[in-house]
Chains A and B, each alone.
Chain A
Amino acid sequence: MTERLTIDFTPAEGAVVRMIGLVERRGYVVRGLAMNEQASSASLTIDVEPRDPSRRVQVLSQQLGRLVDVTQVSHSTNGTVA
């Protein structure tokens, strides 16, 4: 099942690679990406699919939330923002 993560972050060198790398290392396949950036904030939307069913997207959200540049993470399943 594909889940959509919306990540608000402060733009900084390496921030995008850090987020995408974390998603892949934590057991997800990246299926889609979109990003927009304004003056001092940016947002990355990532569609992800777990490599095995034991992976919980809530845990992934919290792991992303630990990144220093990340200000907020939300996720949606089947189009519903969680």
Chain B
Amino acid sequence: MSSAAQPTLTNQPQSVSGARLVVEALEREGVKHVFGYPGGAIMPLYDALTGSSLQHILVRHEQAAALAADAYGRVTGRPGVCIATSGPGATNLVTGIANAFLDSVPMVAITGQVASPLMGTDAFQEVDIFGITLPIVKHSFLVRNTADIPRIFAEAFRIATSGRPGPVLIDLPKDISVIAASPEPFEFPAEEEEELDEGAIAVANAFIAGAQSPVLYFGGGIPIARAERALRDFANRSGIPSVATLKGLGGIPTDEPNFIGMLGMHGTRAANIAIDNCDLLICVGARFDDRATGKLDSFAPRARVIHIDGDPAEIGKLRVPEVAISGDISAILDRLSAKPSIAEWARQCRSQKEMWAARYDAPGAGVYAPALLKELSEAAGDKAIFTCDVGQHQMWVAQHCRFSRPQAHLTSGGLGTMGYGVPAGMGALLAEPEAVVITVSGDGSFMMNVQELATLRRYRLPLKIVLIDNSQLGMVRQWQELFFEENFSEIDLSDNPDFSEVAHAFGIEAFTIDHRSEVGPGIQRLLRTSGPILMHVRIDPRENVWPLVPPNSSNVQMMEKGW
């Protein structure tokens, strides 16, 4: 019988290669950009990418693909997608996947794998990436049947964004991506709506109403839940002074009078004093991380705690609260309507904020990095997105730049990944092309993904890089100075290359400044340039980040700058 005699067959799903099914699944999820690097086992997918609607960004190292996807996910709230081949390609993604896991960022990582019959035989470029990444993914799949691809990808995107977001790995054996199959229809059960704990909310309102010195302590859970509006409404309604973790910065605009600043190791003294004196701590989307609390036993020692989080597993992990409320953060905050009588307490907090405000009148004629960053942040305005690397410059950005939204501050908070800044800047630019994206890096971090200057050049991504160069691993040097009796070990980077010449070699405009009088013109040039540009800033290698809470100390035992 001829097929023409069976017209119903034309409605049957057509047999499609696994690689094509992957591309269709990504398109169905609304993916526009993918970051990756091809290789043997993933070649069928790269074959299918041509002619698709997806724009592939060819990075120069797979780690950068994962870190760019991380930033893309932070800005858009949708999973960033990265692709690598099996073996070293897959293992090179690991740092970026861990980065997304530690900061709860939605990501889908796709790795090629050797063909199914070769798995477990130590084949060329075979590693068990599924096993390697188990501790650092929210979930993972090893695709065993081509027909499962549409369901697995749909599930991966759903898992990556639902509840507490995180990275999902899909390991795709080469034969699975070559074989053609007709996928079966699938559907997922509807998400159950969580009911709020009305009893706990009532107790929380009673605590707030009776508090004399409450503090609102918020963190990265706010941007994850897109709860900025509810947070700001609650802060305004209640008049409660607030402090932020590194990842919460921007949840409430930096300029708000009742926002006291970042707390913790490099936080403001005013924020740490407020926490120390509070009688009620309202923790929202934060997790009592050691960088924020200092010595946990002495953190908010006189306070009762209300802990609100989207993830119930965070509540009681490190400090058992008097009131625990998990669920939709915005819905919970909207139900907290109590108004405490705290005018005097709020005034005291604002007064402390003023008293301990950062100073920018550093002596000398050299570039003072905190002052440069403050001036840059003010000049760039609310359209700016700052991405950072890790080290002293990262803390200076957190301390001295102003943020009106959390997505304007992309920093590797949990993992602390040196090399994050430039790839994150690439991801942010593709996620929000109208933004002014500025990467602040250090001379140590910058070299960890310096190859991505080639990617900037290739795609003409107008990233503005501020490279703060102290010819040292500055944060390590600072700790060796303060806590290791000045036994400076392996922190000297004085043989750095000429960074402007490096940028020029990649075809990127660059210039160097080392005098305070050059800061203003340098910032203007940086912001006016339409393409990628690097401003190399030489600073005094002896400069430290202040204030600082020494390790194993209470947050009020802060060390301060001398001048």
Enumerate chain A interface residues (CB-CB to B < 8 A): 13-14, 17-18, 21-22, 25, 56, 58-59, 62-63, 65-68
Contact = CB atoms under 8 A, between A and B. Distances in A.
A62 B313 contact: yes
A63 B34 CA distance: 31
B290 to A, nearest CB: 13
Contacts of B312: 62
Contacts of A14: 130-131, 134, 140, 142
Nearest to B163: A66
Interface of B: 130-131, 134-135, 138-142, 144, 159, 163-164, 311-313, 316-317
B142 A59 contact: no
Contacts of A65: 313
Nearest to B311: A66
Contacts of A63: 313
A68 B317 CA distance: 20
The 8 nearest A-B residue pairs measured at CB: A62-B313, A68-B139, A63-B313, A59-B317, A13-B142, A66-B313, A62-B312, A18-B134
Nearest to B141: A13
Contacts of B139: 67-68
Contacts of B130: 13-14
Nearest to B164: A66
B316 A59 contact: yes
A25 B131 CA distance: 14
Nearest to B162: A68
Contacts of B138: 68
A62 B311 CA distance: 9
Contacts of A13: 130, 141-142, 144
Contacts of A62: 312-313
B423 to A, nearest CB: 27
Contacts of B144: 13
13 contacts: A13-B130, A13-B141, A13-B144, A17-B131, A21-B135, A22-B135, A25-B135, A58-B316, A59-B317, A62-B312, A62-B313, A66-B163, A66-B164
A66 B312 CA distance: 9
A17 B142 CA distance: 14
Nearest to A68: B139
A17 B134 contact: yes
A59 B326 CA distance: 14
A62 B315 CA distance: 9
Given A14-B130, A14-B134, A59 B313 contact: yes
Nearest to B159: A68
A21 B316 contact: no
Contacts of A21: 134-135
Contacts of A66: 163-164, 311, 313
Contacts of B135: 21-22, 25
Contacts of A68: 138-139, 159
A21 B159 CA distance: 20
Contacts of A59: 313, 316-317
Contacts of B134: 14, 17-18, 21
Residue among A62, A63, A68 having the largest count of chain B Cβ atoms under 10 Å: A68
A22 B163 CA distance: 19
A13 B139 CA distance: 11
B113 to A, nearest CB: 13
A41 B144 CA distance: 20
A25 B135 CA distance: 8
A79 B163 CA distance: 33
A14 B130 CA distance: 8
Contacts of B140: 14
Contacts of A58: 316
Nearest to A62: B313
A77 to B, nearest CB: 17
A56 B141 CA distance: 30
A65 B141 CA distance: 19
A56 B311 contact: no
A25 to B, nearest CB: 6
Contacts of B131: 14, 17
Nearest to A12: B141
Contacts of B313: 59, 62-63, 65-66
A13 B169 CA distance: 13
A27 B138 CA distance: 19
A12 to B, nearest CB: 9
Contacts of A56: 316-317
A54 to B, nearest CB: 9
A58 B130 CA distance: 28
B537 to A, nearest CB: 40
Contacts of B317: 56, 59
B145 to A, nearest CB: 12
A76 to B, nearest CB: 19
Residue among A22, A56, A62 having the largest count of chain B Cβ atoms under 10 Å: A62
A59 B138 CA distance: 17
Nearest to A66: B313
Nearest to A54: B318
Contacts of B159: 68
Nearest to A67: B139
Nearest to A56: B316
A57 to B, nearest CB: 11
Nearest to B142: A13
Nearest to B137: A18
A49 B76 CA distance: 42
A59 B317 CA distance: 6
B497 to A, nearest CB: 40
